[in-house]
A = this chain, B = another copy of it.
Amino acid sequence: MAQTPPRTPTARGSYAVGDARRQKILDTAVAHFAQWGFHASSLARIARDCGITQGGLLHHFRGKEDLLLSVLARSERRDAERLFGEPAASVAAYYATLVALAEDNTRRPGLVRMFHTLVGEAADPDHPAHAYFAQRYERVLGHTRAVLEAGVAAGELRPDTDCEGAGREVLAVMDGLQIQWVLTPTALDMPQRLRGFLDRQLRGISAAA
């Protein structure tokens, strides 16, 4: 440790300040995109809510589209680590990870709301996040299908399991429960409802049944 050449406090300090500011802009952008969507969000208003000028914001992001894609990339990195970080030991273990993700999501309603505001807008092929969302579904579905197929190969699931169909259902239930939850958060225990669905689905396709 003593061998490490010390960085000057100034340099370290300004790096940390810059990174903190960048994270604050991203957090503020999540709230704006959630409430207004991409089109009605304004860089000037996001900057103002961060206590900086629009020029200051443009020091960190090239524009509104870059800010949008940076917000999505940061959120994607967090999810990807949880979902794809290490190969799932079994379908049951993978489903437990999905429930843990739903539990995380109850603690970040802003991100969940942003997701649903943007995914609707992004059905438009000209929307700047269209490719991101289309590819995200392809990737998550592909991964889920692969986990299910591995479950069939390992004898955990019945050989006739419709892995594509079961995978699409899992994604659909996660999204659909989120919509019910963002509209009326007190109306349902989202992770518990998801666990109930996954348990029933798994019993239906389990080779042990």
Contacts and interface: CB of A to CB of B under 8 A. Distances in A.
**Residue among A133, A174, A175 having the largest count of chain B Cβ atoms under 10 Å:** A175
Nearest to A114: B120
A56 to B, nearest CB: 25
Interface stretch (A20-28, A35-43, A71-79): A35-43
B119 A116 contact: yes
B204 A200 contact: yes
Interface in A105-148: 113, 115-124, 130, 133-134, 137-138, 141
Given A117-B121, A119-B116, A120-B120, A193 B165 contact: yes
Nearest to A175: B176
Interface residues of A, number: 45
Interface stretch (A10-18, A85-93, A151-159, A179-187): A179-187
A63 interface: no
User: Could you tell me the dominant secondary structure of chain A's interface residues?
Assistant: helix
B134 A183 contact: yes
Nearest to A37: B37
Interface of A: 34-37, 39-40, 113, 115-124, 130, 133-134, 137-138, 141, 162, 165, 168-169, 171-177, 179-180, 182-184, 188, 193, 196-197, 200, 204
Given A36-B37, A115-B120, A117-B120, 12 more contacts: A34-B124, A35-B121, A37-B39, A37-B40, A40-B40, A116-B116, A120-B121, A133-B183, A168-B180, A168-B193, A172-B175, A175-B176
21 contacts: A35-B121, A36-B39, A37-B39, A37-B121, A40-B40, A117-B121, A118-B120, A119-B120, A119-B179, A123-B182, A134-B184, A138-B184, A165-B197, A172-B173, A172-B176, A173-B173, A174-B176, A175-B175, A176-B176, A200-B204, A204-B204
